[in-house]
Amino acid sequence: MVMREPELTPLSIQTVAADSYRQAKERMREAIARYAAEGRYRLPSEEELSTALGVSRATLRSVLQSLQKEGRIRRLHGSGTFINRHTIGIAANLAEASPFVDLLTQAGYRPAVRTLDQRLIALDDELATSLELPAGERALRIERVFDADGKPAVHSVDHVPATLLGEHPEDSDPRRSTFEFVETDTGTPVCYSVAEIRPVLPPTAIATALGLPRTRPVLRLRHTHIRADELPVAVTVVHVNDDYLRFSVIRTYLDQ
Amino acid sequence: MVMREPELTPLSIQTVAADSYRQAKERMREAIARYAAEGRYRLPSEEELSTALGVSRATLRSVLQSLQKEGRIRRLHGSGTFINRHTIGIAANLAEASPFVDLLTQAGYRPAVRTLDQRLIALDDELATSLELPAGERALRIERVFDADGKPAVHSVDHVPATLLGEHPEDSDPRRSTFEFVETDTGTPVCYSVAEIRPVLPPTAIATALGLPRTRPVLRLRHTHIRADELPVAVTVVHVNDDYLRFSVIRTYLDQ
């Protein structure tokens, strides 16, 4: 089964819950870029920021804490909140949980997503172990490619246990993101993800989907998504052509 | 110039400032492993923890904040601090700024470090750009290999501008870590690092140093270390054989 959705706009897979928080964070990001461009690296007070961005103090605080965790800003006890200047140019921060369409947009590309395949499978040992299920249990497997300006940049395969997806998991809308599947269908949000990072030569099928020779290393990210009740609810294996997305991480040492 | 220091113990390069903080964090890690083994995933109050670990409340708070940033714990507003259970087994967290000897120890190996070469070089364009210096400026280049149980696991090259290293940079003690060079010799601590992550086939010299065929992908991490005054003070390029160190990142979504 191959489905093509060339018309799919980025917005249609951005339906992870808290939209207002995400909008506030996006506005804060833009504000940081503006301040930095003006050479103002010390952020205004929380009061001024919440007024300037039109968000509540509580939302602002969550946004600042998130940006701090990602390494974009630092808070120095007693002297304020500062922009980490050398992080301004980073388009893809591995610590940020942005959907690939957003990452590709931030990297300057016109993104699109194609669902190559969607089917029910029986979990192999490795997937079953990660999902804390017996091997052989059924799961929905969704294979996608994310394009950058029409060229394949990221190959992604999600695995969601069928037991989490209602009576007819095979009929799930393939355009929904992994998070939508898991959160909408189970009613419990994903709380954290663990991503293992490996440099690999792509398996043949993935090399073909990405239009790469098999001798070209790609970054493999294997995510296990964990729900608030500590149940692993999905495994997503991603292969990234780093011509399009070059990930960074930021480590901060001194902030509060 | 090749120097071998087979007798070097891990401790001798663990001299990054705040030792008491690091000890407190290590004790907190051990406590988390113990609590998790007992099925106690909700952490005791800060008061109880600071008494149990014998550290001040202020130190404890810094440690908890750091573990939260790394994704090891989550703090849920109004309900407490919880261990992210599925992160217990992670030995090498890319968001943690641990020295390689510590990472190798955590991964179950006996670590050692060898300095292969130390010399003054002229910065090429790429390094000069990262260090915000004119190309051709002098820098101390230190090439090291980190062994795991006597086998090469990580190849590392540091570049520190000579202007930061006093009158005779070439006489710097090669056993010191990059951070020691930068912090001791400039008097200003490193504030954050940006690490770009790429999957690559190792260049010949690095493949040889790591004992790998050139067709075997390795993880390349290119760090720029930034001082509190936003001056980039060192570039460290690392190639990792992921048979020994398999990095993960943890993304958290819901915590405060």
B77 vs A61: CA distance, rounded Å: 13
- Name the residue with tokens 């799930």: A172
Lowest model confidence (mean pLDDT) among A84-98, A135-149, A173-187, B225-239 = A173-187
Is residue A86 within 8 A of residue A76, CB to CB? The reply is: no
**What pLDDT score was predicted for residue B7?**
36
Domain A19-89 has CATH 1.10.540.10: no
**What pLDDT score was predicted for residue A18?**
55
In the structure encoding, which two tokens stand for residue B185, read together?
Answer: 């010799």
**What pLDDT score was predicted for residue A174?**
63
Residue B12, phi then psi, degrees to nearest 5: -65, -15
Of A27, A63, A247, A41, give the one whose Cα is nearest residue B226.
A41
State whether residue A36 sits within 8 Å of chain B by CB: no
In chain A, list all ranges with CATH 3.40.1410.10. Answer: 95-248
Is residue A145 within 8 A of residue A152, CB to CB? The reply is: yes
Q: Architecture of domain B99-248 in CATH?
A: 3-Layer(aba) Sandwich (3.40)
* CATH code matching the domain that covers B19-92, chosen among 3.30.365.10, 3.40.640.10, 3.60.20.10, 1.10.10.10: 1.10.10.10
Supply angle C-alpha B118, B122, B126, rounded to 5.
105
Tell me which chain A residues have a C-beta less than 8 angstroms from the C-beta of B193: 250-251, 253
Task: State the count of interchain CB pairs (< 8 A) between A and B.
Answer: 155
Residue contact A251–B71, C-beta within 8 A: no
- DSSP 8-state assignment for residue B193: E
A91 vs A247: CA distance, rounded Å: 8
Nearest CA in chain A to B87: A194
> Residue A138's Cα: distance from chain center in Å?
25
pLDDT per residue as tens digits for the range A121-132? 999 999 999 999
pLDDT per residue as tens digits for the range A160-175? 999 888 777 767 676 6
**What pLDDT score was predicted for residue B106?**
86
**What pLDDT score was predicted for residue B25?**
87
* CATH code matching the domain that covers A95-248, chosen among 3.40.1410.10, 3.40.50.720, 3.50.50.60, 3.30.70.260: 3.40.1410.10
| More reliable by pLDDT, A25 or A207 | A207
pLDDT per residue as tens digits for the range A146-165? 999 999 999 999 999 998 88
| More reliable by pLDDT, B112 or A66 | B112
In chain B, list all ranges with CATH 3.40.1410.10. Answer: 99-248
In the structure encoding, which two tokens stand for residue A246, read together?
Answer: 């070059």
B127 vs B162: CA distance, rounded Å: 13
Nearest CA in chain B to A219: B199
Q: Radius of gyration over alpha carbons of chain A, in Å?
A: 20
**What pLDDT score was predicted for residue B8?**
35
Pick from B194, B199, B219: which is nearest to A90 by CB?
B194
Neighbour count for residue A163 (Cβ, 10 Å): 13
A183 vs A231: CA distance, rounded Å: 12
Neighbour count for residue A57 (Cβ, 10 Å): 12
Please state, in angstroms and as integers, the Cα–Cα distance from residue A105 to each residue in A72, A101, A108, A237, A245, following that order: 19, 6, 5, 21, 10
DSSP of A151-182, one letter per residue?
A: EEEEEEEEEEEGGGS-S-GGGS-TTS-HHHHH
Instruction: Give me the mean pLDDT over the A102-108 stretch.
Output: 89
In chain B, list all ranges with CATH 1.10.10.10. Answer: 19-92
Q: Is residue A196 over pLDDT 70?
A: yes
| pLDDT by residue, tens only, chain B of 256 residues | 444 443 333 333 333 335 678 888 889 988 999 999 999 999 999 999 999 888 899 889 989 988 988 889 998 878 899 999 999 888 888 888 788 998 999 889 999 999 999 999 999 999 999 999 999 999 999 999 999 999 999 999 999 999 888 777 767 676 666 666 666 666 778 889 999 999 999 999 999 999 999 999 999 999 999 998 899 999 999 999 999 999 999 988 877 6
Best interface-test mutation with B: which of A57, A191, A243 has the largest number of B CBs within 10 A? A191
For chain A, percent of residues with pLDDT exceeding 70 = 85
**What pLDDT score was predicted for residue B215?**
96
Three-state SS string across A78-134, please?
CCEEEECHHHCCCCEECCCCCCHHHHHHHCCCCEEEEEEEEEEEECCHHHHHHCCCC
Residue contact B230–A194, C-beta within 8 A: no
DSSP of A205-223, one letter per residue?
A: HHHHHHT--TTS-EEEEEE
Pick from A191, A193, A217: which is nearest to B217 by CB?
A217
**What pLDDT score was predicted for residue B2?**
42
Instruction: Give me the mean pLDDT over the A12-40 stretch.
Output: 76
Instruction: Give me the mean pLDDT over the A9-21 stretch.
Output: 45
CB within 8 Å of chain B, chain A residues 183-212: 189-201
Tell me which chain A residues have a C-beta less than 8 angstroms from the C-beta of B217: 199-201, 217
CB within 8 Å of chain A, chain B residues 220-239: 220, 224, 226, 228, 230, 232
Give Cβ neighbours of residue A115 (< 8 Å, ≥ 6 apart): A3, A5, A142, A143, A144, A174, A175
Neighbour count for residue A65 (Cβ, 10 Å): 18
| More reliable by pLDDT, A21 or B124 | B124
CB within 8 Å of chain B, chain A residues 70-129: 71, 74, 84-87, 90, 94-97
Q: Is residue A1 over pLDDT 90?
A: no
**What pLDDT score was predicted for residue B1?**
41
Instruction: Give me the mean pLDDT over the A194-206 stretch.
Output: 97
Q: Radius of gyration over alpha carbons of chain B, in Å?
A: 20
Please state, in angstroms and as integers, the Cα–Cα distance from residue B87 to each residue in A182, A226, A227, B145, B157, following that order: 20, 10, 13, 28, 30
B35 vs A59: CA distance, rounded Å: 32
